[in-house]
Amino acid sequence: MGKALSGIKTRNYLDKSGKALGKIPKFAEDRSTLKDLYRLMNLIRIFDKKVVSLQRTGKMGTFATSLGQEGVSVGIGHALQKDDIFVPYYRDQGILYQRRVKLIEIMQYWGGDERGSRYVYNREDLPISIPIATQLVHAVGVAYAVKLRKQERAVLSTCGDGGTSEGDFYIALNGAGTWNLPLVFVINNNQWAISVPRAIQTKADTLAQKAVAAGIDSIQVDGNDVIAVRQVVSEALAKARSGGGPTLIEALTYRLGDHTTADDASRYVDKSDLDKAWALEPIIRLQSYLTKKRILSKKEEKQILETCKEEVDQAVAEYLALSPQPPEAIFDYQYANMPSALQEQKDELNYSLHPY
């Protein structure tokens, strides 16, 4: 690895065993907030697991879980405010859920139904972006619009560690700096881009330091410490809203599952590395803290898990009961006004489906 760049700080509040390292942030003094973070991480883990099982039984397309990275997405989602704008990548269900994207919408998207990107509540957020790092550049434009209109809102966009190698990543950092935009980038550094380990992506010691050349602030955060993620992202968002400019946050975590359901990580992930990473995962971390502090009783914990499971089961049942869009819907959203040539093709499809 290259030389560590001095000045890149790493933030965490809980140590590996879930003990507070010092003073915890103000928001984390609220017991119900902490319990909520705990619930959300569990909800996402249960949801992910359920979606994978749907995929295995042919009721779902390819899906990317956030196993092990729930601290990152839940922390970010919790820090965002309603009026902020979110520009996601594809491993963000913990954020999407808190943006009030419904679980059923997330399942629809991965299940191959475009209606999953309609987003009933968070109308200004962008849909999941699969072409790596492209979304970061959109976020620059969104943030520019916010700034142009002098709104007090922040924009947040995410990508993976692999995403930081794309040209679009550098382009976005540079643009954010050029106009001092109200923009927060968060890298979910889960150490893998499919089978390619973080070390092959770059010789740079941290991904956070890539911000230096763009002239913008950056920081690393322990992504398995949801309190730290929540705090660091909140600070960056507040700075963005008040005109302080962009921030790049590198959240350090580990992908405990396969890249997607189409992948088999056992081909390339060392079992002992995986075992080590499991010991650091975010849910146990927070749970230890909550238990030590007597914030969470065994009974409450059980209750939380049960309600999460019920919520997921309910959403899955609704998803399975959905009927697909009518076939001709494939034509209906290409243009605001249907060109006549396309209408002809639509008629052709309709005729082939209902010849009489």
Ligand X SMILES: Cc1ncc(C[n+]2csc(CCOP(=O)(O)OP(=O)(O)O)c2C)c(N)n1
Query: Does 171 interact with other proteins (rule: CB under 8 A)?
Result: no
* DSSP 8-state class, residue 20: B
Q: How many residues bind ligand X (CB under 6 A)?
A: 16
Among 5, 8, 24, 194, indicate the residue that binds other proteins (CB under 8 A).
Answer: 194
Measure Cα distances from 341 to 172, 330, 334, 337, 338 in Å: 38, 15, 12, 12, 8
Query: Does 322 interact with ligand X (rule: CB under 6 A)?
Result: no
Query: Does 166 interact with other proteins (rule: CB under 8 A)?
Result: yes
Among 77, 88, 111, 175, indicate the residue that binds other proteins (CB under 8 A).
Answer: 111
CA 149 – CA 145 distance, rounded (Å): 6
Query: Does 162 interact with ligand X (rule: CB under 6 A)?
Result: yes
Find the residue with minimal CB distance to ligand X.
Answer: 160
Q: Is 319 one of the annotated active-site residues of the chain?
A: no
Binding mask 12-51 for other proteins (x = CB under 8 A): ----------------------------------------
Cβ-defined contacts of 261-270 (< 8 Å, 24+): 261/52, 261/55, 261/56, 261/60, 261/62, 261/63, 261/64, 262/62, 263/194, 263/195, 265/192, 265/195, 267/195, 268/195, 269/192
Among 55, 66, 158, 190, indicate the residue that binds Mg ion (CB under 5 A).
Answer: 190
Query: Does 192 interact with ligand X (rule: CB under 6 A)?
Result: yes
CA 63 – CA 195 distance, rounded (Å): 16
CA 111 – CA 128 distance, rounded (Å): 14
Q: Which of 78, 241, 259, 285 is catalytic?
A: 259
Exposure on the CB side of residue 183, measured as CA atoms within 13 A: 30
CA 246 – CA 280 distance, rounded (Å): 29
Binding at 187: pick from ligand X, other proteins, Mg ion, none (beta carbon under 5-8 Å per type): none
Q: Is 255 one of the annotated active-site residues of the chain?
A: yes
Do 137 and 168 form a contact (C-beta atoms < 8 A)? yes
Rank residues 161 and 250 by Cβ distance to ligand X and give the closer one. 161
Rg (CA), the chain: 21
Query: Does 196 interact with other proteins (rule: CB under 8 A)?
Result: yes
Binding mask 232-261 for ligand X (x = CB under 6 A): -----------------------x---x--
Rank residues 156 and 193 by Cβ distance to Mg ion and give the closer one. 193
Do 70 and 44 form a contact (C-beta atoms < 8 A)? yes
The neighbour count for residue 188, using CB atoms within 10 Å, is: 24
Query: Does 163 interact with ligand X (rule: CB under 6 A)?
Result: yes
Q: Is 138 one of the annotated active-site residues of the chain?
A: no
The neighbour count for residue 131, using CB atoms within 10 Å, is: 10
**Residues in 159-188 at the binding interface with Mg ion, rule: CB under 5 A:** 160-161
Residues carrying an active site annotation: 255, 259, 268
- Residues lying near other proteins in the complex (CB under 8 A): 61-62, 90, 109-114, 128, 130-132, 162-163, 165-168, 193-196, 200-202, 262-263, 267-268, 324-325, 327, 329-331, 334, 341-342, 345-346, 349, 352-353
